[in-house]
């Protein structure tokens, strides 16, 4: 049995928030009725996918229908048997496979791959806590310590907690498989100390360190959890692997266990909650389920406000376009209320002490209006984890985290353009040098020929 170690120190900054979690944990994880169609996105933030099927083709449940050629993306599998009805582009520029589902007793297609990493790759597993980065790539780099992030700190979200209550054995098994893949000596499961039922479920197993952290938001941020558990503070932009560390989410560990048994990632647990939801709960939802189907099935008014994710880091979404993806942990659905109007910054400074990264949100806010790259880099914009603690306390209701997220995208685009320009410049210089060298060699050959000719003529 795992022995629980409880930390008494909490993270710097952050907020003690009302979790609003108990209501979605009253009942166990619910099954979802088989929908009439799913829409599988061929484009996500980690890369574009290439369809392996064509319109009219019959696919089996679990069949791989699209792959990603980039290193960070993942393959997609059909959650049900059906017929590909459409491969198209939506107004939001996502490609989708629109499948007409048919009832089937065919068994799920099992993965065929020899090594664990190949199975994880073939199963299309990504960081399901939000990053969406291909897990096989992450686990391909050896580390000393593997952390399973069970500190689901964001208000309203309970999918990982529900999964641990019911499937702790599978999560622990997946965690141990991941530990073997990265060759880690230490395996730590970090969890908030108020998730008592999940902790009890984990304590029934062994082979890992179980550490409880105070439930202060955002203790489950990757950087924050590493610091809480190990006292290691990553510098801005530093990746955990550079310190011999890797962090994976609870649901990812569960999916790894499935992949080892040959089952691809075709469904996940999603918390459906909020003031517009009559009975908040966790559901097994198929990847690709349109959000509008969720609203229709639950009888939720069409004017409800939908956020993909929780109250802090979730983003407002159009239910007519959105689908459940591999990283969709929560649908927070609220009845519309008048929001506080945004007003100018009054330089009150209350946003500074709550920032878990020790940043200066007000200064960063001014540097985004208009976009001032030098200032934003000086204020370490890239270290912002978009936790929205600063938003939460801002009396002017400024959407700071959203501004910082957009500014980070703008900065990344500029940096990418600079890198491309630099690479193009290097290629141009290399070409010029090569042409110069070839010309010099040609000239030398011509001169040698002339000299030889002159010598022969002189005889």
Say whether residue 285 binds ligand SF4 (CB under 6 A): no
Rounded least distance, CB 322 to ligand SF4, Å? 23
Rounded least distance, CB 347 to ligand SF4, Å? 5
> In this chain, which of 17, 52, 87, 345 binds ligand SF4, going by CB under 6 A?
345
> In this chain, which of 55, 169, 342, 348 binds ligand SF4, going by CB under 6 A?
348
Closest CA to 51 of 33, 69, 35: 69
How far is it, in rounded angstroms, from Cα 308 to Cα 328? 7
Specify the stretch interacting with ligand SF4 by CB under 6 A; choose among 75-83, 129-137, 387-395, 427-435: 387-395
Check: CB of residue 184 under 8 Å from CB of residue 217.
no
> In this chain, which of 148, 150, 210, 388 binds ligand SF4, going by CB under 6 A?
388
Say whether residue 346 binds ligand SF4 (CB under 6 A): yes
Say whether residue 15 binds ligand SF4 (CB under 6 A): no
Closest CA to 215 of 147, 162, 159, 152: 152
Which tokens is 277 given?
Answer: 């939801």
> In this chain, which of 8, 237, 347, 454 binds ligand SF4, going by CB under 6 A?
347
- Buried/exposed code over 25-54 (b: 16+ C-beta within 10 A; e: otherwise): beeebeebeebebbbbbbbbebbebebebe
Say whether residue 311 binds ligand SF4 (CB under 6 A): no
Say whether residue 398 binds ligand SF4 (CB under 6 A): yes
Q: Which residue's entry shows tokens 């997609």?
A: 76
Say whether residue 379 binds ligand SF4 (CB under 6 A): no
With CB under 6 A, what is the number of residues at the site for ligand SF4?
A: 30
Give 76's strand partners.
66
> In this chain, which of 396, 399, 402, 411 binds ligand SF4, going by CB under 6 A?
396
With 0-12 / 13-18 / 19 or more C-beta atoms within 10 angstroms meaning exposed / middle / buried, residue 159 is buried
Check: CB of residue 256 under 8 Å from CB of residue 126.
no
Residues in 349-368 that interact with ligand SF4 by CB under 6 A:
349-351, 354-357, 359, 361-362, 365
Residues forming contacts to ligand SF4 in the complex (CB under 6 A) are: 345-351, 354-357, 359, 361-362, 365, 384-390, 393-396, 398, 400-401, 404
């Amino acid at each position: 049995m795992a022995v629980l170690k409880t930390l008494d120190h909490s993270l710097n900054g952050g907020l003690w928030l009302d979790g609003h979690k108990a209501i979605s944990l009253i009942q166990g994880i619910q099954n979802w009725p088989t929908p009439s169609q799913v829409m599988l996105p061929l484009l996500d933030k980690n890369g574009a996918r290439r369809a392996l099927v064509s319109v009219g083709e019959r696919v089996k449940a679990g069949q791989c229908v699209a792959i990603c050629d980039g290193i960070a993306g993942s393959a997609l599998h059909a959650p049900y048997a059906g017929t590909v009805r459409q491969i198209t582009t939506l107004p939001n520029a996502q490609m989708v496979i629109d499948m007409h589902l048919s009832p089937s007793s065919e068994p799920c297609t099992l993965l065929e791959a020899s090594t664990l990493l190949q199975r994880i790759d073939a199963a299309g597993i990504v960081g399901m806590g939000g990053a969406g980065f291909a897990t096989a790539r992450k686990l391909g780099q050896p580390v000393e310590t593997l952390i399973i992030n069970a500190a689901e700190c964001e208000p309203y979200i309970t999918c990982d907690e529900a999964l641990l209550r019911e499937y702790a054995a599978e999560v622990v098994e997946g965690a141990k498989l991941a530990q073997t893949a990265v060759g880690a000596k230490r395996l730590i499961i970090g969890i908030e100390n108020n998730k008592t039922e999940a902790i009890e479920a984990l304590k029934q197993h062994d082979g890992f360190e179980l550490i409880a952290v105070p439930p202060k938001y955002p203790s489950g941020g990757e950087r924050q959890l590493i610091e809480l558990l190990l006292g290691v503070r990553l510098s801005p932009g530093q990746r955990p692997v550079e310190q011999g560390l890797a962090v994976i989410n609870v649901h990812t560990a569960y999916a790894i266990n499935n992949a080892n048994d040959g089952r691809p990632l075709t469904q996940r647990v999603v918390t459906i909650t909020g003031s517009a939801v009559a009975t908040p709960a966790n559901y097994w939802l198929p990847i690709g389920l349109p959000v509008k189907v969720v609203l229709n099935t639950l009888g939720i008014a069409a004017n409800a406000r939908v956020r993909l994710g929780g109250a802090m880091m979730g983003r407002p979404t159009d239910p007519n376009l959105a689908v459940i993806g591999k990283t969709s942990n929560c649908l927070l659905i609220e009845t519309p209320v008048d929001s506080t109007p945004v007003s100018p910054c009054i330089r009150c400074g209350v946003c500074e002490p709550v920032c878990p990264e020790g940043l200066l949100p007000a200064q960063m806010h001014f540097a985004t209006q208009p976009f001032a790259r030098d200032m934003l880099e000086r204020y370490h914009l890239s270290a912002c984890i978009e936790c929205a603690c600063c938003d939460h306390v801002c009396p002017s209701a400024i959407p700071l985290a959203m501004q910082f997220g957009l500014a980070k995208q703008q900065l990344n685009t500029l940096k990418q353009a600079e890198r491309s320009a630099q690479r193009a410049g290097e290629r141009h210089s290399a070409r010029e040098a090569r042409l110069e060298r070839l010309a010099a060699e040609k000239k030398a050959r011509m001169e040698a020929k002339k000299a030889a000719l002159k010598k022969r003529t002189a005889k």
